[in-house]
Amino acid sequence: MELRQIKYFVKAAELLSFSEAARVLNIAQSTLSQQVRVLEDELGIQLFDRHSHVISLTEAGRELLPLALRTLHEADSCLARMQDLGKLATGTLNIGVTYSFSPILTETLLEFAKRYPGVRLNVLYKPMAELMELLSARSLDFVLAFRPSERIEGIESHVLFDNHLGVIVRDSHPLAAKQSVGADDLRRYNLILPSKGLQARNAFDRCVAQAGLAFDIHIELNEVNILLELIRHSNMITVLSEATIYNRTGIKAIPLELPGSEMEGCVHMLRNCYRKHSALEFIRLLRDSDAVRARARSWLD
């Protein structure tokens, strides 16, 4: 029993004519006749009464018609759902984001939600390492994070934009007017840093170690928003990627004069793995967003 045969049967049953049904279905009348016969043989029961001129449904045929229709509708809904998925009319998109990437994301998040209201968005804020675990376990479609210091097996990363570490201060801060900040400037103010393991902290530690320096850290905080609130209302300073304070008011980022402070904003995806249309479309939107466009490298097409 195949859907094709069911389709043929239904059309013939509706029109009560093999010839007419064959015309509508764009097949030869003989083919329809045959296929109905095959179906009847398989079901072990006659579906049509044949009189040389007229056909009519047997009891079995009358019983089958609504059931056959239901079957076709079920099959149709399979097709429709799959096509919708392709057109982003439905589905779920699981996105992992590091805290520092968050402000870059929000703009695109809103835009995507507006354009594709059928797609459910599931955004997870976590430290990079955890996100990579989840990505490997296929719980996430992609991760937005800066490139980690060491490659992770099975994951491919595409650079969205270049960024660098910056010293974050409030607008009224003495350092706010400077073009760049050196290591000595940092020592003059209370330095409050993101917790160890967070990406900006990793990068900062790395380039400090590289330069053979050492800093005495008074406060560590694993929540960037709160950290920035502290910065905004005090003369304390911190070091984050410049992108992290995108769109924030009352604070500014000043380039840090240390080698190795470059960071690459990346999309991380599982290698050799099917990419959802919605995922690719989201990344396309992200790449075209104001936050990213200025320094985007094009790898996506």
Partner DNA sequence: CCACATCATAGGTGAAACCGATTTCAGAAA
Partner DNA sequence: TTTCTGAAATCGGTTTCACCTATGATGTGG
Query: Which residues, including other chains, have CB under 8 Å from residue 293's CB and lie 6 or more apart?
Result: 287
Q: If binding is defined by CB under 8 A, does position 274 make contact with a second copy?
A: yes
Q: What's the rounded Cα separation, in Å, for the pair 62 and 49?
A: 11
Q: Rule CB under 8 A: is residue 38 a binding residue for a second copy? A: no
Residue 83 interacts with DNA (CB under 7 A)? no
User: Is position 289 an interface residue for DNA (rule: CB under 7 A)?
Assistant: no
Shortest CB 122 distance to a second copy, Å: 12
Residue 254 CA, distance from chain mean position: 32
26 binds DNA (CB under 7 A): yes
What is residue 287's three-state secondary structure? Answer: helix
By the rule CB under 8 A, 268 interacts with a second copy: no
**Out of 86, 154, 197, 250, which residue is the one contacting DNA (CB under 7 A)?**
154
Specify the 3-state DSSP secondary structure of 237: strand
Residue pair 152/135 in contact by the 8 Å Cβ criterion: no
Dist. CA 54–CA 230, nearest whole Å: 87
Least distance to a second copy from the beta carbon of 143, Å?
17
> Could you give the angle at the alpha carbon of 149 between the alpha carbons of 135 and 189, nearest 5°?
115
Residue in 13, 94, 102 with CA at minimum distance from that of residue 49: 13
Q: Residue 92's binding partner, choosing from DNA, a second copy, none, with beta-carbon cut-off 5 to 8 A by kind?
A: a second copy
Task: By CB under 7 A, name the one of 24, 27, 43, 69 that touches DNA.
Answer: 27
Binding part of the chain for a second copy, among 23-31, 123-131, 248-256, 267-275 by CB under 8 A, reads 267-275
CB of 112 to a second copy, least distance (A): 16
Q: What is the CA radius of gyration of the chain?
A: 31
Minimum Å gap between C-beta 77 and a second copy is 6
Q: In the structure encoding, which two tokens stand for residue 12, read together? A: 């013939």
Q: Which does 91 bind (CB under 5 to 8 A by kind): a second copy, DNA, none?
A: a second copy
222 binds DNA (CB under 7 A): no
3-state secondary structure 26-71: CCCHHHHHHHHHHHHHHHCCCCEEECCCCEEECHHHHHHHHHHHHH
Residues forming the site for a second copy (CB under 8 A): 1-4, 6, 43-46, 48-51, 56, 58-60, 63-64, 67-68, 70-71, 74-75, 77-79, 81-83, 85-86, 90-92, 138, 141, 272-274, 276-277
Residues forming the site for DNA (CB under 7 A): 2, 4, 17-20, 26-31, 33-38, 48, 50-55, 154, 272
